[in-house]
Amino acid sequence: MSMFMPPSPAGRPIAYVFGDPTTIKERGTEIEELGQMMLDSASQLQAVSDGSDGLKGKAVDKLREGVGDVHGRLKEAGELYKPTGPIVHAYGVALEREQPQIQGHVDTCQSLWETYIALPGSVEPRGTGGWFQPDADSPEAEQQAAEDKAKKDAFDAWEAEAKRFDNDYDHWESAFDTAAGNIDETLAGKIKDSFWDNLDGFVAGLVKVLQVAGMILAVAALIIGGPIVAAIAAVVAVLTLVLTIYQYVRNDAGKLDLALAIVGVIPFGSIGKLAQGKAGVMPFVADVAGGAFKPSTYSAAAQQLRTISMASRFGGGGLSGLRSGAGALWQLNNPEGFGTVMTRLLTGKTPGDFAELSKSFGEGFEAITWIPGAFDFTHGLFGNALKLANYGTQFAGTEGLSEKFPVLPFLGF
């Protein structure tokens, strides 16, 4: 449609009803026929299972063992399919009847609305004799009255057609609701999700939420920083991994999903600690999943929360206290100022992190010990730029570097 048109008198958008009636009717017939075939097959299988088919022999006995109670399941399916088919077919018939009527009303309404918009004048008659108004009984007043009448007539014509649209739409909606209600009644109590099916659906939704939360927290860690964001991100990372493991066990996630979840908890930014030899192994392990298993992660976060709360109270509470608390959070996490934020945003590390990393290149280390440090240094220079690019494409819903180069997530980028 080329022009905005208001809703119908019933408050509906004046739009087509989509669907192919012929396909729907054919599908309804196919469902009914399939249901009957299921029932016929169930009867044959039951005869094999209970021995009433009259067949003898070892092969037949083996067949009876294989059939088991499959006939019962097949019969249940047939009893669901067969009555559902006619309901679907009946809806197809109703759609075939109402769809052209609705389409005609939509097209006519659009044409009438365009005519109404193009006309000068007002639906509510304009006055005469006032400021910027024509004198009563003047030719201008007569022209104004004629324009207003034409405008009102055009609107009334559109409204009348929109009401006819509502009437036929009601018929279609009633047919749709009847079909949906009859199908619900046919299936009521016969198809039930198990506890595990319901849990699988809940876990799938929760994993999606955690993935989005993890991305938001990753960006917050770059801009705000500090142990509070780190503690929350640590919990999210561990939960994501645990739930992905559950999905993998339930065959709801593949090996790639599981591998990416595992990669998500590896502290690539801490690999440089391994350059310190045995002394760096435990700190590296402690950083797994963002320090999720390190008590200091949460104690530092708790300490900052107390400091921020105190600053908020001293600020007088309310908006003033909120500003004071936000200022304290910023100062605690960025004591060197905005430069720290830029360093962290571009490399994922603070100046203090780079000072710690420089120890990997000190004298006395063998060549093999500074390889993790070199990786850490390179990761800081290039990794964050790639991550930020990926975050942008994920938010935009477009293909990113990680999709084009699947190896990048496995390198922590």
pLDDT in tens, 47-86: 766 665 555 656 656 665 655 566 677 777 787 888 888 8
What mean pLDDT is predicted for residues 286-314? 68
pLDDT at 23: 92
pLDDT at 312: 77
Higher-pLDDT residue of 51 and 93 is 93
Contacts of 119 (CB under 8 A, 6+ apart): 147, 150, 151, 154
What mean pLDDT is predicted for residues 322-331? 72
Higher-pLDDT residue of 401 and 217 is 217
Higher-pLDDT residue of 234 and 277 is 234
Q: Are 315 and 325 in contact (CB under 8 A)?
A: yes
Look at 9-23, 55-69, 247-261 and tell me which has the smallest mean pLDDT: 55-69
Higher-pLDDT residue of 25 and 248 is 25
pLDDT at 168: 93
Give the Cα separation of 18 and 15 in Å (integer): 9
Residue 340 CB burial class (10 angstroms; 0-12, 13-18, ≥19):
middle
Given a cut of 70, whether residue 380 has pLDDT beyond it is no
Given a cut of 60, whether residue 100 has pLDDT beyond it is yes
pLDDT at 227: 72
Give the Cα separation of 43 and 197 in Å (integer): 30
pLDDT band for position 41 (cuts 50, 70, 90): confident
Q: Which two tokens stand for residue 153?
A: 């007539």
pLDDT in tens, 162-206: 999 999 999 999 998 988 888 877 766 555 556 666 777 788 888
As a whole number of Å, the CA-based R_g of the chain is 35
- Average pLDDT, whole number, for the chain? 75
SS (H, E, C) 64-97: HHHHCCHHHHHHHHHHHHHHHHHHHHHHHHHHHH
pLDDT band for position 1 (cuts 50, 70, 90): very low
Closest residue by Cα to residue 210 from 184, 235, 175, 183: 235
pLDDT at 293: 57
Q: Are 412 and 266 in contact (CB under 8 A)?
A: yes
pLDDT > 70 in the chain, percent? 60
Given a cut of 80, whether residue 107 has pLDDT beyond it is yes
What mean pLDDT is predicted for residues 270-274? 56
pLDDT in tens, 333-347: 666 666 667 776 666
Given a cut of 80, whether residue 269 has pLDDT beyond it is no
Half-sphere exposure (Cβ direction) of 219: Cα atoms closer than 13 Å: 12
pLDDT in tens, 382-413: 666 666 666 666 666 666 556 566 555 545 55
Give the Cα separation of 152 and 157 in Å (integer): 9
pLDDT in tens, 111-123: 999 999 999 888 8
Higher-pLDDT residue of 400 and 94 is 94
Q: Which two tokens stand for residue 27?
A: 């599908």
